[in-house]
Chain A
Amino acid sequence: MQSRAKQNRDLAGLRVAITGGTSGLGLALVRQLTARGARVAFVARSADAVTRVASETGAHGITGDVGGKDEIYGIAMQITGQLGGLDALINNASTLGPRPLRPLADTDCEDLQHALAVNLVGPFRLTKALFGALASSARNRGGSLVVNIASDAAVSAYPTWGAYGASKAALGHMTAIWNEEARDAGVQFVSFDPGDMNTPMHFAAIPDADPNELKRPEDSATQLIEGTLTKLAANPETDAGAPGSTTAAGDVRS
Chain B
Amino acid sequence: MIAANSPERRWGKLMKVDAGGSLRHFRRRSLARLFAPGDVVVVNDAGTLPASLAGIHAESGAMIEVRLAGWLSDMLDAGGEPRFLAVAFGAGDHRTVTEERAAPPPILPGDHLVFGSLEAVVERRLDHARLLPIRFRTSLGALYAGLARHGRPIQYAHMPDDLALWDVWTSVAAMPIAFEAPSAGFAIDWRTMSAWKSRGVEIVSVTHAAGISSTGDPALDAELPFDEPYVIPQATADAIARAHTNKRRVVAMGTTVLRALESASQENGTVVAGRGVARMRIGPETPIRVVDVVLTGMHEPGESHFELLRAFADDPVLHCIHEVASRRGYRGHEFGDSLLIERSDRAAGM
Contacts and interface: CB of A to CB of B under 8 A. Distances in A.
Contacts, number: 158
Interface in A100-126: none
Given A139-B205, A249-B71, 13 more contacts: A77-B144, A82-B141, A84-B76, A85-B174, A132-B170, A133-B47, A136-B45, A185-B190, A238-B235, A239-B233, A240-B275, A242-B76, A250-B227
Contacts of A246: 274-276
A80 B277 contact: no
Q: Nearest 9 pairs between A and B by C-beta?
A: A74-B148, A241-B231, A73-B165, A248-B74, A133-B174, A81-B144, A136-B174, A249-B71, A243-B77
A4 interface: no
A235 to B, nearest CB: 12
A135 B176 CA distance: 15
Given A132-B47, A132-B169, A245 B174 contact: no
Nearest to B124: A254
A19 to B, nearest CB: 15
A247 interface: yes
Interface in A6-63: 60, 62-63
A237 to B, nearest CB: 11
A189 interface: no
Nearest to B123: A251
A185 B193 contact: yes
A251 B71 CA distance: 8
B234 interface: yes
Most A CB contacts (10 A, CB to CB) among B73, B165, B204 go to: B165
A75 interface: yes
B83 to A, nearest CB: 9
B78 A140 contact: no
Interface residues of A, number: 47
Most B CB contacts (10 A, CB to CB) among A76, A80, A248 go to: A248
B173 A244 contact: no
A184 interface: yes
Contacts of B190: 131, 181, 184-185
Interface in B16-74: 45, 47, 49-50, 70-74
B147 A132 contact: no
Contacts of B241: none
Contacts of B267: none
A140 B235 contact: yes
B164 A73 contact: yes
Contact of B172 (A77, A80, A132): A132
Interface of A: 60, 62-64, 70-78, 80-86, 129, 131-133, 135-136, 139-140, 181, 184-185, 238-253
A45 to B, nearest CB: 14
A231 to B, nearest CB: 20
A77 B176 CA distance: 6
B184 interface: no
B148 A77 contact: yes
17 contacts: A60-B141, A73-B164, A74-B147, A77-B47, A80-B174, A81-B140, A82-B78, A135-B45, A136-B175, A136-B207, A185-B190, A240-B233, A241-B207, A246-B274, A248-B277, A252-B70, A252-B126
Interface in B122-146: 126-127, 133, 140-141, 144-145
Nearest to A62: B145
A251 B70 CA distance: 9
Contacts of A73: 164-166, 169
Most B CB contacts (10 A, CB to CB) among A78, A84, A181, A245 go to: A78
A86 to B, nearest CB: 8
Contact of A245 (B72, B209, B227, B274): B274
Given A80-B47, A81-B78, A238-B235, A248 B73 contact: yes
